[in-house]
Structure 1
Amino acid sequence: MKKLLGILLLVLLLGPPVGLVSVAALTNPAAISCSSGSLLVGDIPDSLTARTRDGRSITLNRQQLTHAATIMTVGGRTVGVGREGVVIALMAALTESTLRMLANPSAYPESLGFPNDGVGSDHDSLGLFQMRHASGWGTVADLMNPEYQARAFFGGPSGPNGGSPRGLLDIPGWQLLDPGEAAQAVEVSAYPDRYQNYQPVAEAIIAALTRTQSDGRSAAAAGVSETSRIVFPLPAGTYTSTDSFGPRIDPYTGVQRFHAGSDLAAPMGTPILAIADGVVTFAGQRGTYGGLIIVEHTVGGERVASYYAHMYDHGIHVLEGDTVAAGQHIGDVGSAGKSTGAHLHLEIHPGGANAPAVDAMDWLAEHGAAGLARADVSTAACRPERTP
């Protein structure tokens, strides 16, 4: 206990806002891990086609998806990883090998004697994550084993390397990093910006491979009725648009990153309203989002998911599986997760939760959202970059 208190004191001394968020992550396991139930792998399809962030189409075969299932299974049973950690691992494996077990006969001729999906030639790298024997990741036999590579990537107390090299769980505050940055922290690549491009593909893989939850909530979401209206998610006069959808300078790193949402600064505790009738498919803490609510809607016959982020636990007023109405008070504005101040981070995903996001403000305007001020639409170039 004394040791834990000492760690908490040290984190607090680092200063807000990052220190305060880190304390929440240390004291609340839910802030850093989703239940493994959301990662139960079902039937593996023969193929899956998805698009990268830059719009390129990629098709994965059954063997590649089987490797993805291995990563998901290992992540689901590793304490502290959760869904966010699995997304990062899939992004890394997609980038490094396109989810293929690659031998490397020029460096290790014996690697061809193990089951493999082809040949790579990047230094002495092997396998799904292109791990290097010379860097201490494991023996050639270890690195030609997909399950071993997944365990090594996640690391932590149950990892095979004892923190050297570092797996994801060995990186302090990995939950507060952009997923691409977290992947880079493990891979230490000469090309650190590659990983972000594969996040939509990783999300699509999880959606395709996970089983429907046994409590029927996912089935309930599949039957969402057409919404009766569209509303703005904050009461009129309570908010200021502070950051827009698209490329921006990340306020934490100072590096240009893609911002998938629209940020609306508002006083702490301001009511957050559901933008449309729908079903709650997630309500809880999720990595950099902090407190997150995801609602699935049907709008004009199309599935649409709305994300509401950065709430504290006590600011979430709905449960997964709840049916909500347009304009219903579902949460309160907070500043949890990767946040520099009280605000709502809003994302709109036409096609569902695993489809790419679009500009939320423009989407709301196009659908005639009640309560949306005209001045807030199509002013991205004029909005200062303040909050993530």
Structure 2
Amino acid sequence: MMRFVAVVAVVVFLFGPATALTAYALLAPANSACAPSGTAVGPVGSVPTALTASTTGGDVVRLDRVQLGHAATIITTGSRTQGAGRDGILVALMAALTESHLRMLANPGAYPDSTSYPHDGTGQDHDSLGLFQMRPAAGWGTVAQLMDPGYQSAAFFGGPTGPNHGSPRGLLDIPDWQQLPKGAAAQAVEVSAFPDRYAQYEPVARAILERLTTEPSTGTPGQADSPVVSSRIVFPLPAGTWTRTSGFGIRTHPETGERKMHAGTDYAAPAGTPVLALADGVVAYAGPDPYAGNLIVIDHTIAGPGGAQRVASAYAHVIDGSTAVVEGDHVNAGVQIAQVGSTGLSIGPHLHLELHPGGFDAPAIDPEPWLAAHSPTSVDGSAVQPATGCSMEATP
């Protein structure tokens, strides 16, 4: 039986030998011609330096480039495996996220020689090894084979071209696996003592697959930080948690009494309310600010009728220590990035939202007309009216 590794949002990595790790991170484009019609996966493009996404329970998962490189190996292998397709790749990513947090784990207790192969850390569950925590004793392969991410990926998918010829069973050896919930399909291969844990990683797996197989719209292809065009706009607070309290424009600051420009819109919400990324993008800044208290700035490339536009979104006054992202992180629309607070020049818990077309150094615009024009949804997909609420000018 493979082991289940409980994943937390922040992981301390114990990196093994560095040689050959990048060989798995920078892969040649995959051939998706063998995938079933309608479920084909495009080629793996740029591998970002980091990606942040949320589980179904709202836990934030942050992945680095080594982990995303292993994800690229799984995607490439799945796209070349006839019968796997997009759904099979999602199942495999969910399994690897659950079992190892997408890390190649050696097992020095069971197999001391496993540490002589490239690895990202160590595990100690029985004789389990690697991304999918496969066991040599169960017939999955030798130590040398199982310390190869490509071999483990092929073994997980299984099928007629799998290295195990159906024993142990890979995903394609499970009858009617496509009819199962994806978490149940992962469990059918993994045979874990914790069968219900795989399903929570489905949104993380989807975020990985979308990010790694979306070709950049601008910039040099293959560069890790090339922008990805985002067409989904998510309102930065969950539905039913907020009230609009102050709009964009000249006003009397409630803390200082000065008559000055208010460069964003304020939404009052209880302290601790999740703050969500407005769209897919890259974190440009996450840290202290003398006025905003704790500030997060995300750079986006937003699709629109006139073509893609660079826009920076800024989220001010978040709680100390609540920031779930760091500079350079790739985030998906709707992922939690912090919690509502009252840091800096503030008289109560609220989110101050700013939008800067062209980047954060460019002038801010009124967020409300922009949001209305881009039809934001709540993170659950329901429509949002950004201007709902009273304009009391109660928060800075």
Give me the TM-score of the superposition, normalised by structure 2.
Answer: 0.49
**Higher Cα Rg, which structure:** 2
Give me the TM-score of the superposition, normalised by structure 1.
Answer: 0.50
The structure in which a higher percent of residues are helix is 1
